[in-house]
Amino acid sequence: MKLPLKAVDKGNDPTAIHNSAESRFWSKYADVHTSKQPSLISCLSFSPVAPYELAVCSSTRVQIYDSNFSTMNKSFNRFKSTVTWATFRNDGQMLATGSDDNTVSVFEVSTKTRLRHMSKHKAPVRCVNFIDDGTTLLSCSDDKTAMGIHIPTETTKFRLLGHTDFVRVGFESVANKSVMVTGSYDHTIKLWDARAAQDATCVLTMDHGAPISALIQDVTGNLLISAGENRIRVWDVVAGGTLLHEIQAHQKAISSLALDSSGLRLLSGSIDQHVNVYDTRNGYDLVHSMAFNSPVMSVAFAPDASTLAVGLADGTLTMRRRPNDDFSSQMSMPTKRLGYHDRMSKGVRYTSAADDFVVQRPDKHRLAVYDKYLRKFQHHYALDSALAKNDKAAVISIFEEILIKGVANQSLGNREESTLVPILKFIVRYITNPHYTNTLIDITMILIEMYSSMLGQFPAIDELFVQLNQRLNQEIAFQAECHSLQGQLDVLLTSAVPLDSVETKWAEPEDETGTSAGDEEPEQQDNSAELSVKASMLEIQSMSSAKKQMQFKK
């Protein structure tokens, strides 16, 4: 006998919503960080204040990551057993943790100082949350109890007794701070009146029908969302715990729930290696599904909707991030006038409004690589960097710095063939330039003294020294000819008649009045010969650096 096939709900089928606009939006979250932790990630928690640091619990340590740059800032390692839970206080300055050794700890985030270490339970602590404006902790344990612990005095303010199995999660209601909410493996969700002196009174009980693995509340506190096995249920607390929705979009047990700060999107992680996204405005319809390589143990969503963190059973931490520009439009966040922090976090592509006053920020001057080396007095690497960029002005400046500082041995000595060849090529090319000749001759003399013993060992270096010798010989011969020509011109100039004593008048036609043009203008002189001689003198004087080359040749 064949069993009838069960109809598939198209609304919750991931393939049916793969090409929707909502799915395309979530697909743009790109991996910005992936790291391997020592064991499975039991808890992920974002700080409620900027810059929204992420606490990661794995094995016997808690690590704090910067969600903007995906880098680890701090690590808390003072635990003797596995850390099961970590959460930030509302101001982000304190961190509370629960461990398998039945203890609860409170740390100062900035200094990593352990402020409190309390042992109030008889079994591992599974959940810890700040309540009562951050002065009290609500801890839930496998000893079937939950209790409120006053942090300053380390005393028990109240106890929640009534569950018959492990208490997995607990928190303070947003709607009423005197009401505590707990979820247990005994399939029940209980609301407690914590105003009693010792044992709180259970005021409402809801049956999920399966062991509670995750429990959260919406932004108003009027709805509770529970997860057990592969089912998610939404409860209306105001209506006396009425079941509003039931979702079955996972194939295996759900391990974690998360809600964005606006309450518009619900995320669930499961051991079926998927994270699903639901639209809370449209009956909690499935709008997107993300697949991973290992069972998902924990999911967290940053308050500014910029970063999604997922912890896997194999210890892999994945952080996905989306460009800031798209959040306000795509996530349908409430519109408001942007403040200073919002404008600064929009990114470089954000365009200001017409009535906004834009403050121009000057571009930051960035040092070149060789300048950074010079600031560290590493002239050797500075010279190599300038030669690699073929910046002749920078190379000459570094050469002069080497000569002034007297660090030629450290900068030019003990070089291999690969680093010495660029220096020799530069000298061969620019030694005849009058602006660089003096400096390059001094550097060449130092190199000859240092590396004369290497001649004959490296063909490339030998060839460059030969080219340098030929170049200098040509320059010296040219300078000698220029000096010979200068001497001949000096003889001609001293024996010539001064041109100033010769006056030449030009016959010009008379105009209608009978006067010539020469009567109105000064007498002109033919100075072309004198100008030609002066130009030759200037050209010769510009080549007066021959003495240096001839001294170097000697």
- The 10s digit of each residue's pLDDT in 57-81 is 999 999 999 877 778 888 998 888 9
Q: Cα(75)–Cα(272) distance, rounded to whole angstroms?
A: 30
| Percentage of residues of the chain with pLDDT beyond 70 | 78
How many folded domains does the chain comprise? 2
Peptide bond into 51 cis (omega under 30): yes
Q: Among the three residues 291, 323, 355, which one is the final residue of a domain in this structure? A: 323
User: Is 5 contained in some domain?
Assistant: no
pLDDT, tens only, 150-179: 999 989 989 999 899 999 999 999 988 889
Same domain, 306 and 425: no
The maximal CA–CA distance of the chain, rounded, in angstroms, is: 139
Conformational region of residue 323, where left means phi above 0, alpha means psi within -120 to 50, and beta covers everything else: beta
Of 4-13, 137-146, 339-348, 386-395, the poorest mean pLDDT is in 4-13
Bridge partners of 98, per DSSP, are: 85, 104
pLDDT band for position 19 (cuts 50, 70, 90) = low
- Split at pLDDT 50, 70, 90, the class of 346 is low
Report, as an integer, the average pLDDT of 421-435. 89
170-174, 220-224, 541-545: the lowest-pLDDT one:
541-545
3-state helix, strand, coil in the chain (%, to 5): 30, 30, 40
pLDDT score of 345: 58
Q: Specify which residues 304 forms β-bridges with.
A: none
Where residue 18 falls among pLDDT bands split at 50, 70, 90? Answer: low
What 8-state DSSP symbol labels residue 532? H
513 located within any domain: no
Query: What does the pLDDT read at residue 55?
Result: 93
| pLDDT of 472 strictly over 90 | no
Structure confidence at residue 306 (pLDDT): 85
Report the percent of the chain where pLDDT is more than 90.
Answer: 35
Instruction: Identify whether residues 116 and 213 lie together within a single domain.
Output: yes
Residue 518's H or E segment, with its range, is none
Quick check: 28 pLDDT over 90? no
User: Same structural domain for residues 304 and 440?
Assistant: no
Provide the 10 A C-beta neighbour count for residue 334: 6
Residue 123 burial (CB count, 10 A): 14
Q: Which residues pair with 71 in a beta bridge?
A: 66
Identify whether residues 80 and 193 lie together within a single domain.
yes
Sorting pLDDT into bands at 50, 70 and 90, what band is 84?
Answer: very high
Sheet of 242-247: strand order equals: 214-217, 223-228, 231-236, 242-247
Judge whether residue 286 has pLDDT over 60: yes
- Record the tokens describing residue 128, joined without a space: 């810890």
Contact by Cβ (8 Å): 190, 235: no
- Residue-by-residue DSSP string for 305-343: S-EEEEEETTSEEEEEE--GGGHHHHTTPPP----HHHH
CA 46 – CA 67 distance, rounded (Å) = 9
The tens digit of pLDDT for each residue in 381-408 reads 899 888 988 888 999 999 999 999 888 8
Which pLDDT does position 448 carry in this prediction? 86
Report the number of secondary-structure helices (H) and strands (E) in the chain.
12, 28
Q: In this structure, what DSSP letter does residue 435 have? A: T
Q: Do 288 and 421 fall into the same domain? A: no
pLDDT of residue 332: 43
Whole-number pLDDT of residue 405: 87
pLDDT of residue 536: 44
**Do residue 446 and residue 301 come from a single domain?**
no
Predicted local confidence at residue 170, as pLDDT: 94
* Nearest CA-CA partner of 181 in 203, 199, 166: 203
CA distances 376 to 162, 370, 371, 373, Å, are: 68, 10, 9, 5
Burial of 193 (0-12, 13-18, 19+ CB in 10 A): middle
In a shared domain, residues 263 and 393: no
- One domain for residues 258 and 381: no
- Note whether 291 and 387 are same-domain residues: no
Residue 199 lies in a domain: yes
Least confident segment among 89-98, 215-224, 364-373: 364-373
Sequence length of the chain is 554
Greater confidence (551 vs 430) lies with 430
Which residues, 6+ apart, have CB-to-CB distance to 462 below 8 Å? 455, 456
Q: Which two tokens stand for residue 335?
A: 């519109």
Residue, of 357 and 508, whose pLDDT is higher: 357
Residues 143, 14 within the same domain: yes
Count other Cβ atoms within 10 Å, centred on residue 76.
21
The burial class, CB within 10 Å (0-12 / 13-18 / 19+), for 161 is middle
| CB neighbours of residue 227 within 10 Å | 28
Residue 195 lies in a domain: yes
**Does residue 503 lie within any of the structural domains?**
no
Pair 294, 374 in one domain = no
Residue 151 lies in a domain: yes
Model confidence pLDDT, tens digit, residues 503-532:
544 445 555 445 444 444 444 444 444 444
- Asked if the structure places residue 484 within a domain, the reply is yes
* pLDDT for res 518: 46
Task: Give me the pLDDT at residue 347, please.
Answer: 54
pLDDT class of 449 with cuts at 50, 70, 90: confident
Q: Which of the 8 DSSP states describes residue 251?
A: S
Q: Same domain, yes or no, for 167 and 239?
A: yes
267, 297, 323 - which closes a domain: 323
Residue 16 lies in a domain: yes
Residue 7 reports pLDDT greater than 70 = no
What separation in angstroms does the CA of 364 have from each of 163, 271, 367, 382, 386?
61, 48, 10, 22, 22
Mean pLDDT of the chain: 81
Closest CA to 167 of 282, 85, 244: 85
pLDDT for 201 equals 85
Domain CATH for 262:
2.130.10.10
Burial label for 3, CB within 10 Å (0-12, 13-18, 19+), is: exposed
Integer angstrom CA distances of residue 398 from 81, 368, 402, 428, 432: 58, 13, 6, 17, 19
Strand order in the sheet with 54-58: 41-46, 54-58, 61-66, 71-76
pLDDT in tens, 299-308: 999 988 888 9
Confidence band, pLDDT 50/70/90 cuts, at residue 86: very high
Structural domain boundaries enclosing 256: 10-323
Q: What is the phi/psi pair of residue 282, to 5°? A: -115, 55
